[in-house]
A and B are shown apart, each in its own frame.
Chain A
């Protein structure tokens, strides 16, 4: 269990995390969403003991993380920075990881390296951003940690490599029962990975949802009416949003999809369909339902 207990972190007067309380169950794949500056990277750095919280406690398995080598040997952080390895070759990185992570597997390293084929004896400072990220992923997965934290994990990777890296991670999650926390501002990336997502905004968790529940709970109905309809026309439907565009009405509702569709059809539209929602749309509607303005969230 990963736990943030009333954690606050400020940087020179700027509050990055504001009395954050959150629990992430062991074995889950948690997607941390939020716009730039929402506090995602700060959360991960507190989780991995890079930063020390100004107040509150960040713990894993009930033990505080900061300055605790016993806990940190079970976790790996792949950050958007790889500066600590810049003067190392991939081989040296491997040795370095082996120094710290007792479960490091040479076999996995060889297999993953064979797949990505990165230079072993060239300093990583000469690597491209994507290659650096691949190198970090290879070493991290080979170390077989109990907890893997990725900050903007797929930045700099081309589409082919994204697929390859994702595949590696999914395999590692399956094989090692790893808890993984991924931060991203890209919903599509976490959608493929995560079973739970949390939305972070201005240093606070706005909500945490099970992804399948979230996806199944919100629907978009496209219909065509002769006259303009409003929320009040569908009292039995929990409508989050109703929009009119080019003669079509779009109803975003929360609840049972079949019941909602039936309720709309009962009003006699000339056209009525249930259309799929992207995770991004689901989030936007969810947020708006919670009273957040879409434009505010983008800022």
Chain B
């Protein structure tokens, strides 16, 4: 029988199928962080259960740690307790921790791939919705809640309903200034924030074949923003070259065996999907969000919509968004003054993102009215950026280079956009108050964010 890649991975992980309910579904790897794991470890202790297959679990601290020199000693006592709780829990259960200053700490979705933990054909979960990032390697990866984190800790399995499958076929090639971030934002605009609820997506098309692993990670990362729990790209030579030699990737003879096994994880030529969608890339332009959810975006040459332009079912949400964002009349998105710019997060905090930004800002200055935070996604990214001279370029330009963490994407530490100020951000969500109570967020690519930081207003990169 012809199967698509999602069905292949699913079928290889069903421990026990259930006709009328969820399957017992095997999880190969789980990543843990400080925010969504403490209650799960506590539940195991309460029930007298042990951690199962600790060698399949990996942890780090990223969400609530500060990104300045206080990262060793957070001033927020609750954040400190949360971080210490993770340390205690993983130590007691023998789970690997990529801790601060190990050279390996970072945002959980940046370090999984860096360590070669994320591999094709595997199932991977984490208590974080952007776990879809790991789909870039042809893994079926999705976010789970804390109860399910506990289920995987104790049994290596969760109960899971088989998802519907969708294929997104990217047609043609995008113009040079259009990046993976712009393309996923355009897709979310097309599908809507709930357009892929209940689905896992396979991304395919000629463009994907030439896309770097960093680009594929950005693409898969935001799958959840159109409701899909997982999005993935079939593994190919680009995947294997990226993975080879990473610490947890197989070595020697095992590598050959692995590649042979992984090559099976592609959709068969006649495989069907529950839904297929084409998206033409050739006419796309850089995207910027104008509203308070990721579907409310427009191309950078476009205008913020008038309420009357919006379809009937989007009017209530549209009005709330326009009111909150302070747009009482239609205007061009380009030229809107900003006070903050943020380059980082699990969406765009990788070395390639920093290279794009550094190229644009080299020899220029951050606008005097803008604070530009550059937050590497991991200590490896930070080290590489220093080695390549990127950090120096950012500092010369007047940007503030911080230590690795989730930072201003989620605002769980002191990295917040102040009340009433506007930020252009490479992160993934523009929900009300996400970057700080009373703040305004415009999502965009690293190129657009950097060009805007220089001009002090929303600006397309050259």
> Do A and B interact?
no
